[in-house]
A = this chain, B = another copy of it.
Amino acid sequence: MTRIAFLGPRATFTEQALRSMPEAAGAEFVPCAGSPAVLAAVRDGSADLGCVPIENSVEGAVPAVLDGLVADPPLVIVREAVLAVRFALLVRPGTRLDDVRTVASHPHGIAQTREWIAARLPAADVLLSASTSEAAAQVARGEFDAAVSAPLAAEQHGLDILADDIADNAGAITRFALVAPPGPPPAATGHDRTSLAATTQNRPGALLGLLTELAVRGIDLTRIESRPIKDRHAEYWFHLDCTGHVSEPAMGEALAALHRRCDRVRFLGSYPRAGNGVSTAAPSTSPLPIGGADAAQFAAAQKWLESVRAGGVA
């Protein structure tokens, strides 16, 4: 049976995202304390796959996951899922809003419902818990009056949803990644994303050169993050998400070009794009009109080149 590690505890958004993935069907779920532990479980073989949050529209990228993905031995992303972040106020059955004197949640949960709490529970004490799920457990045990949690936690802990959709930014979403040891990537669907990380020499032009390699080949960039390299002063890993699949010629040529240009480049996976991802239509770097960079155009150009090299008619 497939074992899938995930950022625990149970009944958090990560489990909810994992349940939406086909790989979850029939799998054993292994909650881990922290994203680094999830990646470690996949690396040491105690889990076959791992599910971690990678980017939140309010909180930004998850640094521990970005840093963990470029550590050794290699891991790759094989699927992504996007989840609307939906916070609810959970209480023990019978509790009314007027009864709530204490409200608890993970710091992120508190941060994303700050305005709602200030408006509706102005007199309540706000307390921090280790996770949104743990806050629900604490409410169930009677330690606090209310928890800001995923609705999923209500059922698990026998709580009621006193108020739903209480996030200050209604549209907040989180992107989750399913990671695996290296292996053949999922087949191209025509609607894929490729993640990679690269370091460049710390000199003028390095980043612009890197982006130009993508742009001339018509590769769209949907996300860019820089992360300092832990053991090297003032050097960075650039994390890039691009549209396309490693099996496509444009992406293959671009990856090979980065391999030549960059000090280090890590392929972090090609996988189907989630329908309405954080970055689906995000800023692009292709400034240079290219008259058709699809596989057919690449094949035609390659065929022409081979003809020219053989002395045929151009």
Task: List which A181-210 residues lie within 8 A (CB) of chain B.
Answer: 182-185, 200-209
User: In which size bucket is the chain A interface?
Assistant: 35 or more
Q: Which residue of B has the minimal Cβ distance to A294?
A: B260
Q: Tell me how many chains of this kind the complex includes.
A: 4
Asked if B298 and A260 make an inter-chain contact with CB atoms under 8 angstroms apart, the answer reads: yes
Asked if B209 and A211 make an inter-chain contact with CB atoms under 8 angstroms apart, the answer reads: no
- Closest chain B CB from A242 CB (angstroms): 12
Separation of A252 and B298 alpha carbons in the complex (Å): 13
Contacts of A64 in B (CB 8 A): 111
Asked if A255 and B305 make an inter-chain contact with CB atoms under 8 angstroms apart, the answer reads: yes
- The proximity string for A residues 227-245 relative to B, scoring 1 for CB distances below 8 Å and 0 otherwise, is 1101001111010000000
A236 with B282, Cβ < 8 A, contacts A60-B227, A313-B182 known: yes
Q: Name which of A66, A107, A211, A228 has the most chain B CB atoms within 10 A of its CB.
A: A228
Q: Name which of A130, A183, A257 has the most chain B CB atoms within 10 A of its CB.
A: A257
Q: Does A141 contact B (CB under 8 A)?
A: no
Contacts of A305 in B (CB 8 A): 246, 252, 255-256, 259
Q: Which residue of B has the minimal Cβ distance to A306?
A: B252
Asked if A253 and B252 make an inter-chain contact with CB atoms under 8 angstroms apart, the answer reads: no
Q: Specify which of B183, B221, B256 is in contact with A207 (CB 8 Å cutoff).
A: B221
Contacts of A123 in B (CB 8 A): none
Separation of A205 and B230 alpha carbons in the complex (Å): 31
- The proximity string for A residues 263-293 relative to B, scoring 1 for CB distances below 8 Å and 0 otherwise, is 1011100000000001111111111111111
Q: Does A223 contact B (CB under 8 A)?
A: yes
Asked if B208 and A288 make an inter-chain contact with CB atoms under 8 angstroms apart, the answer reads: yes
- Closest chain B CB from A62 CB (angstroms): 9
Q: Specify which of B228, B257, B267, B297 is in contact with A278 (CB 8 Å cutoff).
A: B228
A280 with B234, Cβ < 8 A, contacts A209-B289, A252-B305, A256-B304 known: yes
Q: Does A247 contact B (CB under 8 A)?
A: yes
Q: Does A46 contact B (CB under 8 A)?
A: no
- Closest chain B CB from A229 CB (angstroms): 10
Asked if B204 and A287 make an inter-chain contact with CB atoms under 8 angstroms apart, the answer reads: yes
A260 with B291, Cβ < 8 A, contacts A60-B227, A216-B216, A283-B236 known: yes
- Closest chain B CB from A14 CB (angstroms): 16
- Closest chain B CB from A215 CB (angstroms): 6
- Closest chain B CB from A252 CB (angstroms): 5
Q: Which residue of B has the minimal Cβ distance to A298?
A: B260
Name the 9 nearest CB pairs between A and B, nearest first.
A205-B287, A184-B311, A209-B288, A256-B301, A60-B63, A259-B301, A183-B311, A204-B286, A204-B284
Chain A residues in the interface with B (C-beta under 8 A): 34, 36, 57-61, 63-64, 66, 73-74, 76, 107, 111, 114, 128-130, 169, 171, 182-185, 200-209, 211-213, 215-217, 220-221, 223-228, 230, 233-236, 238, 246-247, 252-253, 255-257, 259-263, 265-267, 278-293, 297-298, 300-302, 304-305, 308-314
